[in-house]
């Protein structure tokens, strides 16, 4: 099982790394935006991030391959004839799945997001000629004294939908809220800044309370020099477990800090907590995926009764597709907090573990 796990993890890690290398690093190398040494550094930073995904699928594939051949070679029949139950045989494998789950938790909670954030900083430095890419769809980004939230960034990187900009003093006091249905973001590399314009904006100035200002286009020349070392804010998807908890706490407390905050602004801030909750719950739930995959993979491998590697890999990919469909559904519903998308990421764990226990019970009885 260990040998097969090592082989499958190596293969899946290589495939996932190849996708990232071809997508970003190779392109930057061709454009001479990265040196070979920096490119190798970027690949090394991606390995922990990719391992968080390849370990669970490797565990699932290994269980399918090992126990499929175990059954096809009649070794299970020989073990039963010797008075050894299936549960006794698989106990070390189940303990191995727990150990791998603990390793996945360590990767998911800290190592993977920290490595991913470091990798994105490296890529950001290479893409510094196009600073407008710092804005991300559905996320809140802090740039100096400004906090910007954009519902959607169009593929051109310049046109924005549903823009909310809040301006703060250095002491943390609010100065202004500006909100508009559309916006544009263009880079000014000569002065190391971006020009953010909110169209048809509604704005409120803070003077003990929020006072409405005149409507129209509002332009913000945002300096990027002060953010060169920190590379703005870390994306929600690249935060560690503890950073996500702090982010969630700050988002929940921000509407309470100011009285008579406009209702629309309160709603936007409330909506911002849902993506954080989804990633927080996904991080925890995915750490337990190895246990569910092992519980399902062992009886399915026995029932398949096949030696062929292709059958096991195909079954593993199909099961991973089912698992990730729940994750994709949860992320698609981040704009619908009433549907509790952060709970949906737990469903595949419960389903896989319940089905796996039933199938193991039936396999142990020889059904």
pLDDT at residue 239, as a whole number:
82
Note the pTM of the prediction, 2 decimals. Answer: 0.68
Neighbours of 125 (CB within 10 A): 13
pLDDT at residue 232, as a whole number:
47
Which residues, at least 6 apart from 351, have a Cβ–Cβ distance to it below 8 Å?
A: 292
By C-alpha distance, which of 158, 205, 201 is closest to 180?
Answer: 201
DSSP codes of every residue in 240-276: -HHHHHHHHHHHHHGGGGSTT--HHHHHHHHHHHHHH
Helices and strands counted in the chain (H then E): 12, 7
Q: Note down pLDDT in tens along the chain; length 367 residues.
A: 999 999 999 999 998 888 777 777 776 777 666 778 888 888 888 899 899 889 999 999 999 999 988 888 888 888 888 888 888 889 999 999 999 999 999 999 999 888 888 887 777 666 555 555 567 777 777 776 788 888 888 877 788 998 888 887 765 677 888 888 999 888 776 766 778 889 988 888 877 666 777 778 888 887 765 554 444 456 777 788 888 888 888 776 655 444 445 555 555 555 667 788 888 898 999 989 999 999 999 998 888 766 666 777 788 888 888 998 988 888 888 777 778 888 899 999 999 999 999 988 888 876 5
* Residue 267 burial (C-beta neighbours within 10 Å; 0-12, 13-18, 19+): exposed
Dig out the tokens for 334 from the structure. Answer: 């981040």
Distances (CA, A) of 253 to 141, 203, 259, 264: 17, 22, 12, 16
């Amino acid at each position: 099982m260990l040998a097969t796990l090592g082989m499958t993890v190596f293969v899946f890690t290589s495939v996932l790394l190849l996708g990232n290398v071809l997508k970003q690093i190779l392109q930057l190398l061709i454009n001479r935006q990265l040196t070979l040494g920096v490119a190798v550094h970027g690949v090394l930073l991606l390995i922990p991030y990719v391992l968080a995904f390849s370990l669970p699928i490797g565990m699932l594939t290994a269980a399918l391959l090992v126990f499929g051949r175990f059954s096809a070679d009649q070794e299970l029949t020989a073990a039963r004839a010797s008075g050894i139950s299936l549960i006794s045989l698989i106990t070390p494998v189940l303990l191995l799945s727990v150990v791998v789950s603990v390793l996945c938790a360590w990767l998911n909670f800290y190592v993977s997001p920290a490595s991913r954030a470091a990798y994105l900083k490296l890529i950001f430095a290479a893409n510094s000629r196009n600073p407008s890419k710092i804005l991300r769809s559905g996320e809140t980004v802090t740039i100096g004294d400004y906090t910007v939230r954009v519902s959607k960034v169009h593929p051109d990187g310049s046109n924005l939908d549903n823009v909310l900009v809040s301006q703060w003093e250095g002491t943390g006091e609010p100065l202004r809220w500006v909100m508009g249905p559309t916006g544009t973001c263009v880079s000014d590399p000569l002065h190391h800044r971006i020009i953010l314009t909110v169209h048809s904006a509604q704005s409120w100035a803070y003077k003990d309370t929020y006072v409405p200002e005149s409507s129209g286009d509002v332009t913000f020349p945002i300096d990027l020099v002060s953010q060169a070392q920190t590379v703005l804010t870390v994306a929600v998807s690249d935060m560690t477990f503890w950073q996500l908890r702090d982010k969630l706490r700050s988002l929940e407390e921000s509407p309470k800090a100011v009285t008579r905050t406009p209702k629309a602004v309160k709603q936007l801030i409330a909506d911002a907590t849902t993506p954080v909750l989804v990633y927080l719950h996904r991080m925890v739930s995915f750490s337990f995926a190895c246990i569910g995959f092992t519980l399902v993979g062992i009886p399915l491998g026995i029932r398949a009764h096949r030696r062929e590697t292709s059958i096991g890999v195909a079954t593993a990919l199909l099961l991973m597709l089912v698992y990730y469909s729940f994750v994709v559904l949860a992320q698609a519903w981040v704009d619908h907090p009433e549907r509790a998308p952060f709970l949906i990421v737990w469903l595949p764990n419960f389903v896989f573990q319940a089905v796996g226990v039933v199938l193991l019970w039936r396999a142990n009885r020889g059904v």
